[in-house]
A and B are shown apart, each in its own frame.
Chain A
Amino acid sequence: MQERTNDGPPLTQPSGQIDHLAALYRQMFLIRRVEEESARAYALGKIGGFLHLYIGQEAVGVGAVAALRPDDYVITTYRDHGMALAKGMSARALMAELYGKATGCSKGLGGSMHLFDVEHNMLGGYGIVGGHIPLAAGVAFASKYRSDGRVTLCFFGEGAVSIGGFHEGLSLAALWKLPIVFVCENNEYAMGTPLSRTMSVEDVSMKALGYGIDRDRFFVDDVLEVEKRMAEAVSRARELSLPTLVEVRTYRFRGHSMSDPAKYRTPAELEDHKKRDPLTRARALLEQNGYGAERLAKLEAEVEAEVQDAVKFAEESPEPDPSLLAKTTYDGPFAA
């Protein structure tokens, strides 16, 4: 396992790398700001139900998606805002969905946990833990069947590793040699219960051994490192049609969802992790490597404007029409 440090060496890449890092930072910053605004709207009762924030984990989704082609597939859990934005969903469509508005990505009928975006091959957030993992294997099967050269990225938390769907999905992907990367975002807690109390081993990536597939395991701290490591797994999928299980060690800065005060962990533990916030690190790298304060401020102002526009759009959008319910699932407005 690599050593964790707060300040990496200065980047020595050509300036294109700086612009690339700036683009990744922009995405992470957008995700964070969208989620901070959604938390505010939730507190005001404008967003209801459950809201699972990705704050602290942004570099996983952003780094991973950076390793993909635009037409590759992503499928994830209910903690899906970051992945949707990273994959290209507009902040407007996301925010409107959180508000339950007709202009949302799922017409307001899905809400926070169930985002879909067919245009960007974002195959959804899934609310049943582990349920989407065999689906992901099927998506990768379809890619292989059609020889479309696409890779499927399937995200889940470490909690999912204990449920059957995880094992059934990995088993099939390994047997059929599918072009897929299973990404376990290990943020140490499944709801209020730490990993140490629910799994007999501490190293999630070991689960790959029984299925005879490759594995990797690393910390999230540096988004460029995430991208690099994910790129290896993605190329194994694309070039060799072989699955990989990647465990990314990360941490959520908020509770499991908005209704969780996260009393099961100490403030010191949280502060310790916040010191290694991948956003802070990426921003510092940009500064150290001459991206320029002015450009950074401009980038952040643009994101801010995008976020405010999304909130306004969501606020002003109409609710879906109750007539949507009158028909059954298959002869209603979404019928084939």
Chain B
Amino acid sequence: MERTLNMVQAINDALRTEMRRDPRVVVLGEDVGKVGGVFRVTQGLYEEFGEDRVVDTPLSEGGIIGAAIGMALYGLVPVPEIQFADFIFPGYDQIVSELAKIRWRSGGEYAAKVVIRTPVGGGIRGGLYHSQSPESLFIHVAGLKVVCPSNPYDAKGLLLASIRDPDPVLFFEPKRVYRAAKGEVPEEDYVVELGRAKVVRAAQGAGKAVTVVAWGAMLYEALAAAEQVKKDKGIECDVIDLRTLWPVDVETITESVKKTGRLVVVHEAPRTCGFGAELVSLVCERALMHLEAPPVRVTGFDTPFPYALEMEYLPLAHRIAPEIVKTAEF
């Protein structure tokens, strides 16, 4: 049966589905139990599954993530929540030094199947420490998978796929569209396979076209910009929702760029060493001779995330559209 859910509800639904199916799944984090989480994503789980499976922890990100790794080593499937991605860094050591390396350094004898859920990105005027998009800091660490859904259907399917994946996953939830993104979500169990991007808008006709890659909350901005350049200039766009950032579906992007010859990557994180840099490299390695224009990144700025000027800092449609036009008219 299908219902219209928002992202918060869809993620809650995925957690509930998997906790009913698999008794090894444990949720832990600050305020996740009785309160139901800062964004209410775990609401009702404490009541249904009890305090042994929905664990309120002290304020201790290193402890939460470290303990989750230990649980995973001996057969549990922990799904810790970090209240905001910005607070993950006290636990970053555990992620980088331990979580990412366990399978490899134990010669495959141990796996650390941990899914760390955390809200990411700007758009709620949170300023410095409630707005960041640190995905590339995790992608860069060999051994981690990184996911960022843009809509409720994908959120449920990707979270179920992540929890069933044998390895650690960072599951970034775009908080700007937590409640704004609504859509049909089946009640049934289903997965959206990791590592598969989706072309959510396809260029029509044989005119000038541009490939636009985005994920999370910025997907909607990319779509709005694509609509606008079509209306204003007749420029067509392939808009690709990456969904899984790592391992990245480079084939889908390359295939599109081979058709359009133009690439615009959008992300909220600062520009330098952002994931856009890697995407551009990957495409250049595979499709350099197809390019008609230099690839472009529309990103956050190389400064901390500001409280004022948020709508300038974020790569919103008003910043993406002119870049699409420039690329098309290069």
Q: Is the CB of A113 within 8 A of B59?
A: no
Nearest residue, chain A, Cβ from B63: A162
In the complex, how many angstroms separate the beta carbon of A53 from the nearest chain B beta carbon? Answer: 17
Q: Is the CB of B30 within 8 A of A191?
A: yes
Q: Is the CB of A108 within 8 A of B61?
A: no
Q: Is the CB of B301 within 8 A of A49?
A: no
Q: Is the CB of A193 within 8 A of B125?
A: no
Q: 0/1 per residue, B42-59, Cβ < 8 Å to A? A: 000000000000001111
Q: Is the CB of A110 within 8 A of B307?
A: yes
Q: Is the CB of B125 within 8 A of A111?
A: yes
Nearest residue, chain B, Cβ from A328: B302
The bracket for how many chain B residues form the interface is 35 or more
With A100-B307, A192-B35, A320-B309 as contacts: A110 and B128 at CB distance below 8 Å: yes
Of A163, A320, A329, chain B has the most CB atoms within 10 Å of the CB of: A163
Q: Is the CB of A50 within 8 A of B130?
A: yes
With A49-B130, A111-B127, A192-B34 as contacts: A162 and B309 at CB distance below 8 Å: no
Question: Which B residues are CB-close (under 8 A) to A324?
Answer: 303, 306, 309
Q: Is the CB of A130 within 8 A of B59?
A: yes
Asked if B308 is an interface residue, CB under 8 A from chain A, the answer is yes
With A128-B87, A264-B35 as contacts: A319 and B302 at CB distance below 8 Å: no
Asked if A159 is an interface residue, CB under 8 A from chain B, the answer is yes
Asked if B104 is an interface residue, CB under 8 A from chain A, the answer is no
Q: 0/1 per residue, A218-234, Cβ < 8 Å to B? A: 00000000000000000
- Please measure, in the bound complex, the distance between the C-alpha atom of A61 and the C-alpha atom of B129, giving whole angstroms: 24
Asked if B86 is an interface residue, CB under 8 A from chain A, the answer is yes
Asked if A88 is an interface residue, CB under 8 A from chain B, the answer is no
In the complex, how many angstroms separate the beta carbon of B93 from the nearest chain A beta carbon? Answer: 9
Asked if A109 is an interface residue, CB under 8 A from chain B, the answer is yes
Nearest residue, chain A, Cβ from B300: A325
Question: Which A residues are CB-close (under 8 A) to B90?
Answer: 128, 130-131, 163-165
With A322-B309, A328-B302 as contacts: A128 and B89 at CB distance below 8 Å: yes
Asked if B195 is an interface residue, CB under 8 A from chain A, the answer is no
Asked if B313 is an interface residue, CB under 8 A from chain A, the answer is yes
Question: Which A residues are CB-close (under 8 A) to B87?
Answer: 128-129
- Please measure, in the bound complex, the distance between the C-alpha atom of A130 and the C-alpha atom of B61, giving whole angstroms: 11
Q: Is the CB of B127 within 8 A of A49?
A: yes
- Please measure, in the bound complex, the distance between the C-alpha atom of A178 and the C-alpha atom of B90, giving whole angstroms: 24
- Please measure, in the bound complex, the distance between the C-alpha atom of A320 and the C-alpha atom of B307, giving whole angstroms: 10
- Please measure, in the bound complex, the distance between the C-alpha atom of A326 and the C-alpha atom of B128, giving whole angstroms: 17
In the complex, how many angstroms separate the beta carbon of A132 from the nearest chain B beta carbon? Answer: 12
- The 10 A-B pairs with the shortest beta carbon distances in the complex, nearest first, are A111-B307, A48-B125, A127-B129, A162-B58, A49-B125, A100-B308, A192-B35, A108-B308, A198-B58, A328-B302
Measuring CB to CB, which residues of chain B are less than 8 angstroms from any residue of chain A? 30-31, 34-35, 38, 56-63, 86-87, 89-90, 124-130, 272, 301-304, 306-309, 312-313
Complex A-B: 15 CB contacts under 8 Å: A48-B124, A109-B127, A113-B128, A113-B129, A128-B90, A130-B59, A130-B90, A159-B58, A193-B31, A199-B58, A322-B312, A324-B303, A325-B306, A325-B309, A328-B272
